[in-house]
Structure 1
């Protein structure tokens, strides 16, 4: 007789009440990491699309094309690179979303499938530490925008050297407070943030258009910035840029279950991401290209920083409106893309001791500890150089999760076991799956070598794609003969009985 631990409705699963009671006392469980109940999955297509609009419309996206254009690409080649990169990263993102929606599990718990109940901390913190770094960077950027608003309102503030530090701490506290309030507050903020950011983008475009016309120039002059790469360097620049663009959201390709577990259906999460990510990234990057091109005509210099552009406009009302928009853009991106994942990852270290809210507070303090004002002393080199580096380290993780869930497990998960100790089928050896760790290192190695060996530079330039594809191939081969040390062969064969219950 099988033990019913999960119930299913329209392809979505939740734990039974008896199974939930059994795991609540586990040291690997807390209410924030617990699988969402079916009635908690309320995010529809527009909520998820708004989430992506809110995350994509940010200063790094605005400036994304600038790095590629500075490297030699034309504006349309840069936009095409961004669009292709985001369509590519959307593939692992959609695939990894499925488990979150189907079983209601967040990223650190999803990572337990392949890395083991304890080993998941290694993979989760690899993503979490990067998220904490980005949190500090975005908070410093948002603090700078807030400082611009206050300076426009008060000349005394503008002349006060401590203003930037107070603005940074105010913006930091706002980020942490919203994250501390939890997912529903984040959902509300993203839903309202998306239309505000859309209006800001259109306003910047309108200002650029009419300002250029008033200077007696045509719009096409903005877009007549030609490519200037050396002969034979196109693919080197394009592939390197593609890796950086894929890496831009490679962190979310891992922890997307943190959000997809709230989706009402697989269709909602799929369409929400499809409509919200690639086009928004390409469109807002185009806003950056267009407005920056206009600054070259209006101010005789190309200004890639939108905060600096807004300050140059000269109107206090425009400065306030624009800087408020930048603050909203940074806030929506920072909380959803950086705080949620890192807080969950930190909570997973000691689920019985650390809640999501506590993890959000720790993330906030880590954001200060990394001293983002020093990291951003050379923003372009940091953002674009760093993207390519951490992307090649995270790519194999995305492949491992997909190979484990789709190929090795055929999308079958025993959720209760994800919260158990030594008697869990996901315990492996002392809580760690050594094979997953080995595949991770092996598949990241070629791209890492390309970073240090000039003759192998092409491996780094295409590092994300190489690491991702290699891990999908190698992981199932490594796991082919894996035998579960806890469950007998007969029990393994009845896993479908365990995970299928009557429709309610």
Structure 2
């Protein structure tokens, strides 16, 4: 593989398309447990609990919430296997894979959309985790309230200290490369189970070992419940649409295609369903014990009278937040920014730039501004469906999995993915209107009833439109502009 990567470098003498981090993966050490651990890191967090609890607050019973989760994870499992195959077979990260359909320069469009979303949410998640540290420190030493009462740029001095602490800890993980990410997630995800199971048992005992899963705080009629189940299912898929787009950043290191599928199976439908079952049981339990649904597990933890248990639990939730942040919001922009200027920006430098930008946007102000979160980030998030639809249609329907790896790094006009001045105008012609449709569906209040379905509609419409425009434009099995480089498979 070393010689292959050296030959790829010669196709881009300017350094505008190639560096070692963007080249096909040399080492493939990630097995089934690694991908299972990716999903534990992505799922075992406060956000997932809040999502599951939110479906219950919406009016669904515990059993109906589980039905929504099972449907959603089933769809997510299938889609992640597709996305994973693209990375495992080619060995390249998302922004390089995007060159197939958008062109060698046009690929920066989906890459930067994904990067902006990830950087903003990285900062927001770091801020939320730092607030848990603030609460923890104030519980241990109330005298620190003095630092909490003084602020700078909209954040208390204690908040700044906690935010910077987590900011540095996450930076230490990501700047050591993808192997450090793998080793961190291998143990970060599982430890949350100990806290969740402990809190669930505590609530069970407080409820007299009787938690009715058929309970609903706002009973829905049959049609409303049916719509609520499928709304919840597609909201779940849309929540992980960012991960779906760049899952190849992880699967490019897979030992085999089977390891990806096995890791996905245990990590998505099985693990997610189990975590959701615990989450909804705890939510129903809070209604029985406290008389109201508590949608934040940190607030449940705060009710535990034992300070030692509170400290241990809070620390585990903090580790879990770091895990989900690294997996969902840090790896992608590191690659995406490296793709913009490969000659100067490596994966490590891309990660550092992402972290600095996440600090400069002052995420506490972003999070407190509904306009920014709902319209700016929500609007960008609506673009992810059309982007995935175009990529999937090109790889699976147009090219049938045959990719000219060498031409992904060819910077001259003879390359297959040069298209028109490095941009595929047909991909842009599909993306712009379909992204506008999904953004309108997601953001216009009058269309709120269909907002949850913006992602699948965007995928389907963009995939069909792209297939129609590109059909016949590519000769399957006969890549132009150079000899195809066979993917490194280990089935």
The TM-score normalised by the length of structure 2 is 0.89
From 112, 120, 134, the equivalent of 1:133 is: 120
Q: Is the 8 A contact 1:54 1:190 kept in 2?
A: yes
The 8 Å contact of residues 62 and 213 in structure 2, kept in 1 or not, is answered as: no
1:375 Cα shift? 3.8
- Structure 1 residues 232-243: aligned runs within 5 Å: 232-243=223-234
CA distance in 1, matches of 2:288, 2:415: 65
Provide the secondary structure at the position in 2 that maps to 1:277.
helix
Matches within 5 A, 1:338-357: 338-357=329-348
Question: How many residues are paired up?
Answer: 480
Residue of structure 2 equivalent to 1:186: 181
1:36 aligns to what? 25
Residue matched to 2:62: 75
Q: Which residue of 2 aligns with 1:279?
A: 270
Say if 1:111 and 1:460 are closer, same or farther in 2 by CA, change over 3 A: same
Contact in 1 for aligned 2:62/2:284 (Cα 8 Å): no
Contact residue 448 and residue 460 of structure 1 kept, 8 A = no
**Would the aligned equivalents of 1:222 and 1:294 in 2 still touch at CA under 8 Å?**
no
2-structure distance, mates of 1:411, 1:280: 30
Residue 113 of structure 1 pairs with residue 104 of structure 2: no
**Residue 22, structure 1, aligned to residue 14, structure 2:** no
CA displacement 1:344-391 (0-9 Å, x = unmatched): 111111111111111111211222233332343489x99899887555
SS of residue in 2 equivalent to 1:148: helix
Deviations 1:246-305 (A, max 9, x none): 111101111001000111000001111121023333332333322233333433443221
Quick one: which of 406, 409, 418 aligns to 1:427? Answer: 418
In structure 2, what is the equivalent of residue 474 of structure 1?
465
Aligned to 2:77: 90
Moved more, 363-372 or 397-406: 363-372
Matched, 1:203 2:194: no
Question: What does residue 11 of structure 1 align with?
Answer: none
Contact 1:71/1:229 (<8 A) preserved = no
Q: Distance in 2 between matches of 1:57 and 1:50?
A: 10
| Structure 1 residue 310: Cα displacement | 1.4
**1:61/1:281 contact within 8 Å kept:** no
Q: Is the Cα–Cα contact under 8 Å of residues 108 and 345 in structure 1 kept in the other structure?
A: yes
Distance 2:199 2:118 in 1: 29
Partners of 1:252 and 1:452 lie apart in 2 by: 21
Q: Is the alpha carbon distance of 1:62 and 1:491 closer, same or farther for their aligned partners in structure 2, counting shifts above 3 Å?
A: closer
Q: Report if the CA contact (8 A) 2:32-2:260 is conserved.
A: yes
User: Are the counterparts in 2 of residues 103 and 261 from structure 1 also a CA contact under 8 Å?
Assistant: yes
Tell me the equivalent position of 2:296.
Answer: 305
Contact 1:150–1:157 (8 Å) recurs in 2: yes
The equivalent of 2:389 in structure 1 is 399
Out of 347, 352, 356, the residue aligned to residue 361 of structure 1 is: 352
Q: Given the alignment of the two structures, is residue 269 of structure 1 paired with residue 268 of structure 2, yes or no?
A: no
- SS of the equivalent of 1:119 reads coil
Structure 1 unaligned regions, length at least 5: 1-6, 8-13
Question: For 1:319-347, what per-residue CA distance to the aligned partner results, in whole angstroms no more than 9, with x for missing partners?
Answer: 11110110111011000111000111111
Distance 1:308 1:266 in 2: 41
Indicate if the aligned counterparts of 1:28 and 1:348 stay in contact, CA closer than 8 A.
yes
